[in-house]
Amino acid sequence: MGLTPAQRQANKRARDKGVPEPYDSTVIKADQEARAAKEANALNLFEEVAARDKEGKRFKSEARSYTKLVRLYFGQPEIGDADDEASEGKDKKSKKDKRPNPSETRIRIQNSDVDPTDRGKGRRRRSIEDITYEVDDIVGFWRWLNLRDRARKDLFWLGRLLGKGLYRSVHQITCDQFVTKNFGGPWLNQDGTEDKTREKVDSMYFEGYTLDDFHDMIEDHHSYREREMMLLDSRGFYKSTIDGIDSVQWMLNCPDIRILIITGEYKLSVAFAQEIKSYFNMSEGQEPNAFHLLFPEYVLRGVDGTSKEPLFCPARLLDQKEGSLWVNSIVANLSGWHCDVKKGDDIVTDENSNSEEAREKIKIKYDGTDDLLDPHGFMDHIGTRYFTDDWYGTRLAPNSETGEIAPVKYHKRGAWAVKPEYAEVPILQLTDVPSKVDIQ
């Protein structure tokens, strides 16, 4: 180690000219030693995980082998030779489109227990110096795996990781309505620590799993939540945003998942798909963000990350005809496709529910989409009420013969609440500012 003959000659020429030497042997030697140590550590890590792979084990909720995960961590392709790939692709790929390398890049994740920067009118924005980070460093391999596991199990935390301004006091309860996923390892508390009150889940993935195995893994989650959920929070509560983040989380847990999202309007469905794609997309020359660094195998590039076409997850391991996620409107032809998760997001609109006939058509159409969901799957309905007999109202109505309501997890809350000191004020006299109303 040390200076090469060429570098020594360059230093001699510099001394002869009376200018500073371009190469510092001490610095170069230190860099070489650091690289050698890193390579040695990487080789030791590869040997360690190879032994685990021989036992057929997976890390918590990971679908991939330890060896493939180590390669992803070091910015390498899952299979093949990284040097050969770089050599063959140097004329085809832009140098700007480098593979995310978590082993060499700082990961910054804001503290999810601290509310995001205020952006309201007349309110001071918190300066960048005031933002606290729970992760702000180049993380080791095992820490990297645990951060991936938290993203798969903590929907609120994933939302903050994706840059959404979620507040614990407002949005945690919304996140809690969606399927809590665990495909291996311990359950987590809100602060990311292990939940000791619940038994760990054996890793569901293994080498050579099949579609039938995968479907059984999803069906196991029926034990934790009703197969169907309805969420009717008011507008502005980030319902649809969190619904999209839940779709991302499903894909992180299940690279082979098939998700169908149905909306009331086609334009809304396209916007929904493009927002979800934007989380995975990495534009030309873009520096990888924290999400890209945690999940490099999910990164989309070019038209794959921006088009209106179905999303085909690059991390998928099993071949299927359906995409990983696709969207359509309730008025489109939806027959012929099958999914593992069906989401109806704002299928009822002011236009398609403005008459009894229109509401009946939507009911027949949307009820018919139940046939698209395979028996092992889940369905979510997220929306806003327009009439008492809109689709949401009819779904919650008891059976005329038995008087029972089909099982569904149901959540709603008011857009505002009356302060205790104004509880006796007639509702039409309430205002959003203190008034002179006599409450005696």
* CA atoms of 180 and 249, how far apart (whole Å): 10
**Topology, domain 107-411:** Rossmann fold (3.40.50)
Contact between residue 301 and residue 97 where contact means Cβ atoms under 8 Å apart: yes
pLDDT in tens, 342-387: 999 999 998 999 999 999 999 999 999 999 999 999 999 999 989 9
- In this predicted model, which residue has the larger pLDDT, 344 or 419? 344
Cα 317–323–329 angle (5° rounding)?
155
- What's the length of the chain? 440
pLDDT band at 120 (very low <50, low <70, confident <90, very high): very low
Contact between residue 369 and residue 334 where contact means Cβ atoms under 8 Å apart: yes
Q: What is the CA radius of gyration of the chain?
A: 27
State yes or no: pLDDT of 254 exceeds 70: yes
State yes or no: pLDDT of 125 exceeds 70: no
The first and second tokens of residue 248, run together, are 């991302």
* CA atoms of 140 and 363, how far apart (whole Å): 52
State yes or no: pLDDT of 129 exceeds 70: no
**What are the residue ranges of CATH 3.40.50 in the chain?**
107-411
Q: Please state at what angle helix 239-253 crosses helix 141-153, rounded to 10 degrees.
A: 130
- In this predicted model, which residue has the larger pLDDT, 25 or 291? 291
pLDDT at residue number 118: 54
Which long-range contacts link 189-196 to residues 24+ away (Cβ below 8 Å)? Answer: 190/113, 190/154, 190/156, 191/113, 192/150, 192/154, 192/157
State yes or no: pLDDT of 127 exceeds 70: no
Amino acid letter at 88? E
State yes or no: pLDDT of 320 exceeds 60: yes
Q: Among the ranges 36-40, 194-198, 331-335, 416-420, which has the highest mean pLDDT value?
A: 194-198
The first and second tokens of residue 194, run together, are 């292990």
State yes or no: pLDDT of 86 exceeds 60: no
Q: How many angstroms separate the first and last alpha carbons of the chain?
A: 88
- How far is residue 81 from each of residues 66, 86, 87, measured CA to CA in Å? 17, 9, 10
* CA atoms of 7 and 21, how far apart (whole Å): 9
